[in-house]
Structure 1
Amino acid sequence: MERYDTPSSVDSFEAATKLFGALVTDLACPAAGELPHHALEELLEEKGRGLLRQLFQDHLDLRERREQQAVVVRRPQVIGADGLPRPPLETGHRRLLATVFGTVTVTRCAWRRLETPNVHPADAMLSLPRGRHSHGLARLAVREATRVSYDASLEAIVRRCGRVLGKRRLAGLLVEAAKDIDVFCDAKVVEPCSVSTVLVLSVDGKGIVMRPEALREATRQAAAKRQHTFRTRLAAGEKGARKCWPPSVRSTTAGRPRAARTM
């Protein structure tokens, strides 16, 4: 009786190995020796991207076989996010994933239950996005679109990754990437205080005005006996309109303070 093929006995990367061998053959042939350097760059860029995509696909296929063999040896109990178990198991569930190397196919096991969504543990292991486009492709789209226009960024992505997304999906990736920007801007980062942290209370050399009840007893009595000056005139350097704010500054929106402007 023949043994079943296992991931350790089967060359899981046979397809990628063939592509690599073909690329080496192309580079070693006499015709390649007459190519200029820019033609070699184009050759390696095009066929190299195909080789990387095939390596990605072969690795995903290897994961598929390992998952199927694991559930045969020991079938786990899968519970969905709704708290309900998913006893039935089906293999061969496929979905597409657009990556920076091209589009690949992810095949995995699905645990099912009537009238409830399927559960795919392999999706969680791969941290797959809800949509079709990978996190790396979304990051590349955001990086390109923040520098140039949509058309120019889409052209740059297609030139590097192939036809993996359109203009409308490019705009959608930007919207999804910016969905947490309000929470990010409103969040306050509390920095730790140490002995080297400087607390600046006053820089005009006049000291800090304190309320009478906050003074020490002796200081409070001395302040009460002191003659109050500058009640009818301004002190040197004191502005007469120091408490009058212009309407544009005084009528601010609630919850959004503005920086005071020097008039």
Structure 2
Amino acid sequence: MKPYDTFDAIDSFAASASAFECLTGTLAGPQAAALTHHELEELVEVRGRELLRRLLQDHFDLRALREREQIQERLLAGNTEVVRGADGRIRPHHEAGHSRKLACLFGTVTVTRTAWRQKGLINVHPADISLSLPAGRHSFGLRRLAVIEAVRGSYDQARAAIEDRCGKVLGKRQAEGLVVAAAVDIDDFYRCMIPLPSTATTVLVMQVDGKGVVMRPEALRPATLKAHLNSQHALRTRLAPGEKPHRKRMATLACVFDADPAPRRPHDVIAPPEGRSTLARTPRSGPRAHRKWLTASLVHPPEQVIAAAFDQAAARDRDHLRDWVVLVDGARHQLGLIQAEAGRRGIKVHILLDFVHVSEYIWDAAHCFHKPGTAAAEAWVAGHLTTILHGQAARAATEITTQADRTGLHGTRREGVDTCVRYLTGHLGQLRYDTALAAGWPIATGAIEGACRHIVGDRLDITGSRWGLQGAEAILKLRALKDNGDFNTYWAFHLTREHKRLYPTPDQHNYNLTA
């Protein structure tokens, strides 16, 4: 094939060159000399965006011209053009001038190309394949921007941000659809990823928690929807104490991370009841999380999310040479699912309760004996937490019960004590903090608690929001993806998958796409 005529290519961009000369002429003129710097910024932004749109349009027009010339040259040379569709059948006839609109980062352009046809079959556009055009109107660059903005804030804010940058190219409903479509390959992406290995001494930590999301009635789970429909409230204008609106669906979050062991003693975690002396050594810091991986779902049940976390942990430690530590807040349902998953896989895991949750129960019990905010209450809490950190939770429960009996607490004054004692005695197997501190393991669920606030609370729990299931799931997965730092890698993976879905080859069923 002969090389393209350079002058034809230059002429094709004559409109763009004229627009550029017009802009530079405006900036060099006397009117621009009287503008302030922010007025100049606005002028260059608006006119510059149109210039970029014009450049892209001229390029598409040039490619359409070259496509027609290539077809004519091959026909004149006697070469029979063979174009097959995904069904493997030949389209022998061609027709130029088929156009479609494409909304992109610079505005809306028109892509013109040649269609290859056969009666009774769908047209094939080879230019669509070479350009990897999307199925809808919006370009992949615009889709990426829509995802970034919608994951960061509300859809109204995302639409406004895109309109300021790109013009009126995307509506709110369209943005919601693009976000849902952008998240379809996240699960496959993580199944294809291979985590970097760590040393056998590195602790492998898993944390699991749940967070409710306000949903539309049709997106609630059947039991919650039934309770919502059958709920009868004592007051007409607001909920009475203890009443629930039954409007939330529980999202399950799990994270996996590596941590280098950091051995500590109880007084490194909590100050002694009498306080630290000025000559005492500096408390040693705990283990720090690195290579954190987070997953979350509203659609999948908790056992499936926990299984995904175990899959990630197994990928990091296939031979189970490392210590596996699981931190939870003490929910019986989660504990049962974790123990069942570990038993199914034949893996030994060390389950610990979040020490912060334990301390809250101790504080509630302290307020049964001492006034809140007093030094006596603080010293009481420090003494019993130190006992628990030494691995003697049963002793702490016995001492608290004995003190309550001796003091004569009963009824509502004793509720905090009884709740605390039940919590401690019911989870003695998960309160072996002496072993955890000596081995250098973490004892708090800060990573997953922070994820619940950041991933769910900062976006899905904004004031007035009510979610559909697909939209909430997509936002949840995409926010977790960005928190993992994998968005750019995932987007390249997603575009490859999308291209294969839109433009399958006749023999595509003979192989599988990998990362």
Which band: TM-score by shorter chain?
0.7 to 0.9
1:73 equivalent in alignment to 2:76: no
Q: Structure 1 30/80 Cα, relative in aligned 2: closer, same or farther at 3 Å?
A: same
Residues 7 and 62, structure 1, Cα contact 8 Å, conserved in 2 = no
Match of 2:103 in 1: 98
1:50 equivalent in alignment to 2:50: yes
Match of 2:337 in 1: 252
1:34 equivalent in alignment to 2:39: no
Whichever residue aligns with residue 53 of structure 1, its letter is R
Whichever residue aligns with residue 23 of structure 1, its letter is L
Q: Distance in 2 between matches of 1:71 and 1:190?
A: 45
Task: Give aligned-pair identity as a percent.
Answer: 48
Whichever residue aligns with residue 59 of structure 2, its letter is H
Q: 2:140 aligns with which of 135, 142, 155?
A: 135
Q: Structure 1 89/35 Cα, relative in aligned 2: closer, same or farther at 3 Å?
A: same
Whichever residue aligns with residue 200 of structure 2, its letter is L
Match of 1:162 in 2: 167
Q: Structure 1 65/29 Cα, relative in aligned 2: closer, same or farther at 3 Å?
A: same
Q: Structure 1 252/36 Cα, relative in aligned 2: closer, same or farther at 3 Å?
A: same
Residues 98 and 134, structure 1, Cα contact 8 Å, conserved in 2 = yes
Q: Structure 1 155/249 Cα, relative in aligned 2: closer, same or farther at 3 Å?
A: closer
Whichever residue aligns with residue 87 of structure 2, its letter is D
Aligned ranges 1:101-112 → 2 under 5 Å:
101-112=106-117
Following superposition, the deviation at residue 248 of structure 1 comes to: 3.6
Following superposition, the deviation at residue 181 of structure 1 comes to: 2.3
Q: Following TM superposition, where does structure 1 have runs of at least 4 consecutive aligned residues deviating by more than 2 angstroms?
A: 6-10, 181-185, 188-193, 197-203, 245-251, 253-263
Aligned ranges 1:77-226 → 2 under 5 Å:
77-185=82-190, 187=191, 189-191=193-195, 198-200=199-201
Q: Distance in 2 between matches of 1:182 and 1:255?
A: 23
Following superposition, the deviation at residue 189 of structure 1 comes to: 3.7
The C-alpha deviation readout for 1:64-117, integer Å capped at 9, x for no partner, is: 110000000115210111010000100000001110000000000010111211
The C-alpha deviation readout for 1:93-146, integer Å capped at 9, x for no partner, is: 000111000000000001011121111110111111111111100010111111
Q: Structure 1 137/39 Cα, relative in aligned 2: closer, same or farther at 3 Å?
A: same
Following superposition, the deviation at residue 192 of structure 1 comes to: 6.8
Whichever residue aligns with residue 199 of structure 2, its letter is V
Whichever residue aligns with residue 154 of structure 2, its letter is S
Q: Structure 1 23/74 Cα, relative in aligned 2: closer, same or farther at 3 Å?
A: same
Q: Structure 1 28/143 Cα, relative in aligned 2: closer, same or farther at 3 Å?
A: same
Residues 7 and 66, structure 1, Cα contact 8 Å, conserved in 2 = no
Whichever residue aligns with residue 103 of structure 1, its letter is T
Following superposition, the deviation at residue 148 of structure 1 comes to: 1.2
Following superposition, the deviation at residue 12 of structure 1 comes to: 0.5
Following superposition, the deviation at residue 168 of structure 1 comes to: 0.5
The C-alpha deviation readout for 1:152-209, integer Å capped at 9, x for no partner, is: 1100100110111111000011001111223334x1644576xxx6335999xxxxxx
Following superposition, the deviation at residue 48 of structure 1 comes to: 0.3
Greater relative contact order: 1 or 2 (C-alpha under 8 angstroms, separation 6 or more)? 2
If you compute each CA radius of gyration, which structure gives the higher value, 1 or 2?
1
Q: What secondary structure, in the 3-state scheme, does the structure 2 residue paired with 1:118 have?
A: coil
Q: Structure 1 154/113 Cα, relative in aligned 2: closer, same or farther at 3 Å?
A: same
Q: What secondary structure, in the 3-state scheme, does the structure 1 residue paired with 2:128 have?
A: helix
Q: Distance in 1 between matches of 2:27 and 2:128?
A: 38
Q: What secondary structure, in the 3-state scheme, does the structure 1 residue paired with 2:102 have?
A: strand
Q: 1:8 aligns with which of 3, 6, 9?
A: 6
Q: Distance in 2 between matches of 1:246 and 1:40?
A: 60
Residues 7 and 65, structure 1, Cα contact 8 Å, conserved in 2 = no
Q: Structure 1 123/246 Cα, relative in aligned 2: closer, same or farther at 3 Å?
A: closer
Q: What secondary structure, in the 3-state scheme, does the structure 1 residue paired with 2:152 have?
A: coil
Alignment length (residue pairs): 213
Q: Distance in 2 between matches of 1:255 and 1:86?
A: 57
Q: Distance in 2 between matches of 1:61 and 1:252?
A: 59
Higher helix share: 2
Q: Distance in 1 between matches of 2:86 and 2:37?
A: 54
TM-score by length of 2: 0.39
Provide the aligned C-alpha RMSD in A. 2.7
1:19 equivalent in alignment to 2:7: no
TM-score by length of 1: 0.73
Q: Structure 1 165/254 Cα, relative in aligned 2: closer, same or farther at 3 Å?
A: farther
Whichever residue aligns with residue 137 of structure 1, its letter is L
